[in-house]
Structure 1
Amino acid sequence: MLMQKSESYVGSRLIDLFIGTAHIQPPASQSSDGLPDIRPAFRHEMRTMVKEQQKSSRRYGVIKCDPLVRQGLDRTAKHMVIPYMPMLIPPICWTGYDKGAHLFLPSYVMRTHGARQQRDAVKRAPREQMQFVFEALNTLGSTKWRVNKRVLSIVDRIWSNGGRLADLVDRTDVPVPEKPDTEDETLLKNWKWHLRAAKKKNSERHSQRCDVELKLAVARKMKDEEGFYYPHNLDFRGRAYPMHPYLNHLGSDLCRGVLEFAEGRPLGKSGLRWLKIHLANLYAAGVDKLSYDGRIAFAENHLEEIFDSADRPLEGRRWWLGAEDPFQCLAVCMNLTEALRSSSPETTISHIPVHQEM
């Protein structure tokens, strides 16, 4: 208890020093001839939380950052050090609790998050009992991936133009309503409600923008590599996940659309059929509930739109944007267009991962 109290005092003092020394100056002020507009980057405020049911209130402190700080964080998210990047060589095969995966980074076969009993149980498990788990993780880790440059270029164009398409977040904040010049309680209450809603929306957008920047930073860094690998380990439930957290094949539509197998294979008759089924599944909107033949018919009935999506993703009719998973749909449109325009569609090389429910 005494240790926690001491830690609180030390933490409070450090925050106080930080607020007192961290300042920010707007770019416009830096170039002007007048006095510089230097202001605190962070400030401490007290707020009152009203508990309506108990008819009481409680005061609490918050630390607010200047809007320029948040804008700077948006821009610099792409330059953050990203943990556990994909590997350019196959990962080390798992042979023990902490033996496998990355060459130099600490790697553990299970993410126990400090649960000592679970960690010790995994350590004590006989190697022969874990062998099937190790083999499965090694198989996942030895799968070679690469960046689909054509899809990434479309993502970059949309993002540089402000987002807002294909489920990408808007890169601008929603306007924050100004306080009305009135004492009318109803109008003030309405303003506070809209103010809270705008701030909440902007906070969500900020988080989503940082997430997109991190994913794109990895994609841009890896786009010229011939291929790369994702070491896998288990979560506490025993489910396998890539150790890299941002751009991976279990992520969002953006991640899955930008990634493809590095080692392609000829489609063959079966592969061409499954590519059409996969397109219908990605488009969804009820189409994914049809029979396999119905899904194939959907793809064949929309060949004109598929070709247009592949040829002119942003200048054409943008049919692919109507898909539930637009970037994956666009990737399939491009591959299917290449195959169907070929003199031998079944020999066309495909790098597309086709998802199947097992």
Structure 2
Amino acid sequence: MHPYLNHLGSDLCRGVLEFAEGRPLGRSGLRWLKIHLANLYAGGVDKLSLDGRLAFTENHLDDIFDSADRPLEGRRWWLKAEDPFQCLAVCIDLAEALRSSSPETFVSHIPVHQDGSCNGLQHYAALGRDKLGAAAVNLVAGEKPADVYSGIAARVLGIMRIDAQKDPAVFPDASLAKILVNQVDRKLVKQTVMTSVYGVTYIGARDQIKRRLKERGVITDDRELFVASCYAAKTTLTALGEMFQAARDIMRWLGECAKIIASENQPVSWTTPLGLPVVQPYRVLGRHLIMVKRQRTAFPPNFVHSLDGSHMMMTAVACKKAGLTFAGVHDSYWTHASDVDTMNRILREKFIELYEIPILENLLESFQQSFPTLCFPPIPERGDFDLRDVLDSPYFFN
């Protein structure tokens, strides 16, 4: 793989890369190519239903043709996209297809992406069989994609509105709630929600929100900005805990197990569902001492990353067996437009197959076998979410 020009790179790199082998679009492929263009344009369009995204593309065909024919001399509509070079590449491909005598037989080389929806939380919701969490991250069907960031923002806003009605003399945060109630939106909480699966701390959440508030310039006094960020971080973490209680419980359990092992000056190690052994390398440099805190805080995100890596590998192997071309970046799976429906079916089936394995039970058993003298906490209680609901969820990956 080239160190600079590869599919893990920037929008420019991805925009100039295509599959070596092309495939005829077919009816479904033409539809997915249009949806893919809307996803790349983004700016809120990618939050619409699939039919809404399809309509967006069809309503902008003049702009798409203009972008394909005169990318620099024309109206430059493609430059308004969040991923402009990838958008331009699809504009060119789609224009050629639509102008051909038979769009459905047009051979396309464009990789079409299907992305997970806050993928770390999807894995935690499946681990905990958490109905509320599953609905928030599109493990169950909905008319349009659920937006976890907007959902958390709405919860934060609800808490702050209640706090704003309280007496500041009794509840000092009431004055902060009144200031912040008009600042709460998706962007304010997004980074904290994204990093929650990596074990973001209160201090980390405070600093993230402080940066967002500082960018807006509404609070100019440094002391007031700091106090407001503290309150907003506390409220955001409360909202996260309410919506993803099962995820929090599992994170806490994983961290406790890691602390118990690391306290014996042993690194945390486990075997992924695919049989890959993993050992956390965090030691004091030059000494045979384990970094207990680092072992504890790193284990939950590392463990979940090993699960999402297992899901990708299972999907890639199944796609190869089915004759599909597959590429992937973390929770973004790529294939030809004509094969998106098949890949979507496969990745859902493999997700269910992965979580039908008793993953936490196997992990606890491996810890107990490796450290028979140590006492580990019991696995957190699971909910009653039906994994097979994922099969019918169009926005699980979309």
**Normalised TM-score (structure 1):** 0.32
TM-score scaled by length of structure 2: 0.29
Q: Considering only CA atoms, is the larger Rg found in Structure 1 or Structure 2? A: 1
Q: Could you say which structure has the greater relative contact order, defined with CA pairs below 8 angstroms and 6 or more residues apart?
A: 2
Normalized per residue, the structure richer in helix is 2
